[in-house]
C-alpha cells in the first residue's frame, strides 16, 4: 500500500504535465483557412486599382459554423455590395490603403426561407470603419453574435 506522500507525488507529476499541455494548446496560432473561395458569380464588385500602388489585401473569412449556416451574408465596402459570402467561404479583396466602411448585410433569406423578411427587425446591417495599410495583409472573420447578427472581427482578437 502506497503512502499518502507517494500518491501525492504521482498526482502532482501528472498534473504538471497536463497543465503544460494546456499552456501549449492555448497559445495563439495563425489563422488556418479551411474554407472555399467565394465563386466568381457571387462577386459583384471589385475596386479599380493601379498595378503600381502598394495595395492592402483584405481577407474576409466566414468559418463553417452550425449557427446561421443557411443564411448568406453580403459584404459591402463603402456601401457597395462586393460579394455574397456563404457558410465556409472566404473572399480576398485588394484595395488602395485608407479608411473604409465595411458592412455585413443579412436579409434573413436563405435556402430554407426564400421569401423576403416580413418585418424590419429581421434585417440586420452591421458596419465597421477600419483602416487598411498598404502592402499589408488584413484577416477579418465573420462571426455571429448572441442575437444571430453578423459581426466583423480581426483574426486573433
Residue 107, pLDDT score: 63
Residue 112, pLDDT score: 46
Residue 2, pLDDT score: 63
Provide the CATH number for the domain formed by 36-154 in this structure.
2.60.40
Task: Count CB neighbours of 73 within 10 A.
Answer: 23
Report the Cα 80 to chain-centroid distance in Å.
20
Residue 48, pLDDT score: 82
Residues in the chain with pLDDT values less than 70:
1-2, 4, 21, 23-34, 67-68, 107-124, 145-149, 155-157
Cα distances (Å, whole numbers) of residue 23 to 17, 26, 79, 103 = 10, 5, 43, 36
Residue 111, pLDDT score: 45
Residue 91, pLDDT score: 94
Helix (H, G, I), strand (E, B) or coil at 130: strand
> What distance in Å separates the CA atoms of residue 105 and residue 122, rounded to the nearest whole number?
11
Q: pTM of the prediction?
A: 0.65
Residue 109, pLDDT score: 46
DSSP category for residue 70:
T
Residue 96 neighbours by CB under 8 Å, 6+ apart: 47, 49, 53, 55, 56, 134
Amino acid at each position: 500500500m502506497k503512502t499518502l506522500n507517494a500518491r501525492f507525488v504521482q498526482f502532482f507529476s501528472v498534473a504538471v504535465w497536463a497543465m503544460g499541455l494546456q499552456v501549449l494548446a492555448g497559445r495563439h496560432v495563425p489563422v488556418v483557412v479551411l474554407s472555399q473561395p467565394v465563386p466568381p458569380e457571387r462577386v459583384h464588385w471589385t475596386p479599380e486599382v493601379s498595378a503600381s500602388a502598394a495595395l492592402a489585401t483584405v481577407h474576409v473569412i466566414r468559418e463553417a459554423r452550425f449557427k446561421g449556416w443557411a443564411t448568406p451574408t453580403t459584404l459591402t465596402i463603402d456601401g457597395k455590395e462586393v460579394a455574397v459570402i456563404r457558410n465556409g467561404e472566404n473572399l480576398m479583396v485588394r484595395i488602395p490603403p485608407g479608411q473604409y466602411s465595411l458592412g455585413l448585410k443579412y436579409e434573413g433569406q436563405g435556402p430554407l426561407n426564400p421569401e423576403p423578411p416580413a418585418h424590419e427587425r429581421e434585417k440586420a446591417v452591421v458596419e465597421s470603419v477600419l483602416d487598411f495599410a498598404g502592402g499589408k495583409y488584413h484577416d477579418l472573420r465573420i462571426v455571429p453574435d448572441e442575437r444571430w447578427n453578423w459581426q466583423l472581427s480581426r483574426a486573433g482578437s
